[in-house]
A and B are shown apart, each in its own frame.
Chain A
Amino acid sequence: MATRLKEVDAVMVGMGWTGSIMARELTKAGLNVVGLERGPDIKPAEDFAMPHIRDELRYVQRLEIIQDPAMETLSFRHRPSEQALPMRRMGSFLPGNGVGGAANHWGGQHWRYLPSDHQTRSNILNRYGAKALPEDMTVQDWAMTYDELEPYYDRFEKLCGVSGKAGNLRGQKVDGGNPFEGARQNDYPTPPVKMTESALMYAKACKELGYHPFPQPASTISQPYTNTEGLALGGCQYCGHCERAGCEANAKAGPHICVLPVLRADPKFELRVHSWVSRLTYDKAAKKVTGVVYTDTRTGEEYEQPAGMVVLSAYVFGNIGLLLHSGIGEPYDPATQKGAVGRNYCYQLSRIGLTMFFKDKNFNPFMGSPGSMMVIDDFDGDNFDHTGLGFFGGCRIQTGHGEGRPIAYRPTPPGTPRWGSAWKKAAVDNYQHALSIGMSGSNYANRNNYVDLDPTYKDQLGRPLLRLTYNFVENDYKLAEYCMSKVVEIAKVMNPTVMGSPRLRKGDYDIVPYQSTHNTGGTIMGTDPKTSVVNRYLQSWDASNLFIMGASTFPQQPAYNPTGPVGALAYWAADAIVSKYLKNPGPLVHA
């Protein structure tokens, strides 16, 4: 029997970016907030310290700070007719573990989505006509426009100290920035990070072709910065250990350095770690949640925490799972296309690109950050005319260095054997000289890509695993092929000593090699409760005191990394709760 605890004003389920931001905004408004975190507490000064944080085997290969699939994973199949099998090891994507969540090990690429990304469906219909949209492409509009969200994008950027260069300041195009971005009220809080030689070579070739290279906006920031919470961030050391590891220089924005020090000192906030929420308690008739039930993973004890308001701030899969485990909303069925929970699961088209070799260049591939890249957006989103192309969406295309860790990074030219003296010689001869053009493609919703509960496999709490049904579709393959033709064109201008072969998308989705931790959808936002789970304030249609954060609310995934809009939406929802909901609790939008 669960021990019933004293009611609190609000509970956060998960203490990554969105739980931390929401807890901060709600405590500021006077609420008593409990933050429940399944994993351990993490303290950067101890856990991300030198020299151990530079351990590639521990962090990159053995996934030290990544979610443990033995606790919870998901099952996977490509299509509804297939038998789903559990993802027994983490691979394709890497959710975080512990306080800070995936923000502990992200690379810090910090974007705003394009204005047209916020209106994907109506944009396609308006520009290309109603017949242009494939029947199985279930893209939807966001429930707010770019312009409405702009002040919140701005606010999150100032929390992180994002480095970058504006390309569109209040409607004025600025040379050297991204000319395709939506109008910004303010430039980035800090100037762009240092670029690698490879990034500059790429930018030069792009310019020659008439494209518009600009520096990657980065939350691995270029110089010391004091953020909007009065907290100090350091400058990037270009160590090349960003992804899958924490930052020892306090230069990579994350809840630990950007929000939590203030929250931890606030008597209105209580952090409970090792607290795994198994379900929400739900009053279906009243359309309200009454709290959460969680297990202390150190003791196995179960607790019921009543709360006036619940915020789902877990990773995408955690949010979807808690709705399904708690019987909130109707699970999506691809056969009838009824039900909203689990629909429009999307991912990211990545692991595509082209590697080249330049005999006379020394790239020092171990120096840099995921921000040390130049990017073009000329073939991103709807920045180019899709008439007659047979697909929608696009790729951002970029080049840089900064991940030269030698277990994973050993580029060799095509035709090199995989072992032996010839391999070794090629690995030695090419380590300094390889350059890759990378692509990150949008992934638009399809009626057969969704998440529900698995009938066979269970997690450590005995709950059914989530079952992911997902595959790439024609749109994705065509998109990758088209954008690759542009990459080849740029590569030719760069004129390498040895040209590699394009890495393209072939065959079924493979859940093993790492692609990106940009899973989206499943609890999407919208204007119609039949096809969405939350309204424009990220408030559940089925429980007015339940708010759902994060990328699980995206109706589809543009070509960019999701953290920028994830943070912006948290501020947007917090603002609506504080300025509207708390004064008059109840549905903020009437369907």
Chain B
Amino acid sequence: MADERILRREFLKGAAIAGTAAATAIAPATEAAAQSAPPKPQAPPAASADSDAMVTLSPAEQAFFTAAADTIIPADDLSPSGSDCGVVTFIDRQLASAWGGGAKMYRSGPFRKPPGEGFGYQLALTPREFFAAGITATNAWLKKTRGKEFDRLSLKERDEVLKVMDQGKAELQNFDGKQFMEALLDITMEGFFSDPIYGGNKNKVSWRMIGYPGLPATYANMMDLYRNKLYKPEPQSIADFS
């Protein structure tokens, strides 16, 4: 655990700088006030883009996603853990967004169980509701079979549980464990690899890790210059150009 913390500090060194810039962009008036006088103790906490405060997730959901993100993306010599990279913040904001509320989904009934494969999502639940129900069902199943909720399990046990779910062998009540696992894996990877403006991929940690340069992506000259040669500049994100 101590090692993880050191790793986190090293990986996120640059994040504080980026965080300051983002906060400035959000509230220039507040910033001016902050420069003239120290913040008063009764002032509400600043809505910082770097804040880890949850918008929509309950403490139990936050604990679940933290445990899941840290199992899918464990801390190792390649990156800090998923939650330390901001994946839970990302998931929270996504589930609070229009997408989380079911935007760009056809939500008219009747809702029917598909007669076979290939029909896609057929539930009435929005992504927000889907994850809430999935977490409840998973924790109830684990309580019954292992006596503990997901976030109380060790990393090794959580990894085993995810494998069972991925193989479609989790016996969740009224919920499809495989479908839940797919959605969990998708949103975790989105959080890890998307532009940091959404709260995940703090300090562009995943981009640096795989060697994705991000922006500005104008490569007309690089195509020949870097033919079969590694092009690995310091990655830049949308915030770096805003």
Q: Which residues of A contact B (CB under 8 A)?
A: 50-52, 54-57, 61-63, 66, 68-70, 73, 76-78, 82-83, 85-91, 194, 196-197, 235-241, 249, 361-364, 366-368, 372, 404-407, 410, 418-421, 424-425, 427-428, 431-432, 456-458, 507-512
Q: Which residues of B contact A (CB under 8 A)?
A: 71-74, 76, 78-79, 99, 103-108, 110, 112, 114-122, 159, 162, 166, 185, 188-190, 193-195, 197-198, 206-207, 209-220, 222-224, 226-231, 238, 240-242
Query: Is B194 a contact of A407 with CB atoms below 8 Å?
Result: yes
Query: Is A70 a contact of B107 with CB atoms below 8 Å?
Result: yes
Query: Is B78 a contact of A428 with CB atoms below 8 Å?
Result: yes
Query: Is A420 a contact of B209 with CB atoms below 8 Å?
Result: no
Closest to A423 in B: B72
Chain A to chain B contacts (Cβ below 8 Å), 10 pairs: A51-B215, A54-B217, A57-B194, A70-B103, A89-B120, A90-B104, A238-B222, A364-B231, A410-B189, A432-B230
Query: Is A511 a contact of B120 with CB atoms below 8 Å?
Result: yes
User: Known interface pairs A88-B107, A407-B190, A512-B118. Does A51 touch B241 (Cβ–Cβ under 8 Å)?
Assistant: yes
Q: Closest CB-CB distance, B85 to chain A, in whole Å?
A: 11
Q: Main secondary structure on chain B at its contact with chain A?
A: loop
Contact partner, B119, options A69, A85, A432, A458, Cβ 8 Å = A85
Query: Is B185 a contact of A419 with CB atoms below 8 Å?
Result: yes
Q: Main secondary structure on chain A at its contact with chain B?
A: loop
Q: Closest CB-CB distance, B149 to chain A, in whole Å?
A: 20
Q: Closest CB-CB distance, A106 to chain B, in whole Å?
A: 18
Q: Closest CB-CB distance, B83 to chain A, in whole Å?
A: 14
Q: How far is B186's CA from A89's CA once the two chains are assembled, in angstroms?
A: 15
Query: Is A510 a contact of B117 with CB atoms below 8 Å?
Result: yes
User: Known interface pairs A83-B112, A421-B76. Does A407 touch B231 (Cβ–Cβ under 8 Å)?
Assistant: no
Query: Is B159 a contact of A420 with CB atoms below 8 Å?
Result: yes
* A366: B residues at CB distance < 8 A: 212-213, 217, 219
Q: A54-B215, A89-B120, A511-B119 are in contact. List 5 more A-B contacts (CB 8 A).
A: A88-B122, A89-B106, A235-B220, A238-B223, A364-B229
Contact partner, A78, options B116, B189, B216, B231, Cβ 8 Å = B116
User: Known interface pairs A69-B105, A367-B223. Does A428 touch B210 (Cβ–Cβ under 8 Å)?
Assistant: yes
Query: Is B210 a contact of A54 with CB atoms below 8 Å?
Result: no
* B185: A residues at CB distance < 8 A: 418-419
* B190: A residues at CB distance < 8 A: 57, 61, 407
* A427: B residues at CB distance < 8 A: 210
Query: Is A420 a contact of B120 with CB atoms below 8 Å?
Result: no
Q: How far is B222's CA from A404's CA once the two chains are assembled, in angstroms?
A: 15
* B115: A residues at CB distance < 8 A: 77, 82-83
* B120: A residues at CB distance < 8 A: 87-89, 91, 511-512
* A77: B residues at CB distance < 8 A: 115
User: Known interface pairs A57-B198, A89-B104. Does A367 touch B72 (Cβ–Cβ under 8 Å)?
Assistant: no
* B195: A residues at CB distance < 8 A: 54-57
Query: Is B103 a contact of A419 with CB atoms below 8 Å?
Result: no
User: Known interface pairs A54-B215, A425-B78. Does A419 touch B73 (Cβ–Cβ under 8 Å)?
Assistant: yes
Q: How far is B217's CA from A236's CA once the two chains are assembled, in angstroms?
A: 11
Q: How far is B219's CA from A239's CA once the two chains are assembled, in angstroms?
A: 6
* A509: B residues at CB distance < 8 A: 118
Contact partner, B222, options A56, A364, A418, A508, Cβ 8 Å = A364
User: Known interface pairs A89-B120, A239-B217, A507-B117. Does A50 touch B241 (Cβ–Cβ under 8 Å)?
Assistant: yes
User: Known interface pairs A54-B214, A56-B195, A57-B194. Does A86 touch B78 (Cβ–Cβ under 8 Å)?
Assistant: no
Query: Is A362 a contact of B228 with CB atoms below 8 Å?
Result: yes
Query: Is A367 a contact of B219 with CB atoms below 8 Å?
Result: yes
* A83: B residues at CB distance < 8 A: 112, 115
Closest to A372 in B: B223
Contact partner, B99, options A62, A407, A418, Cβ 8 Å = A62
* B193: A residues at CB distance < 8 A: 56, 406-407, 410
Contact partner, B220, options A51, A63, A238, Cβ 8 Å = A238
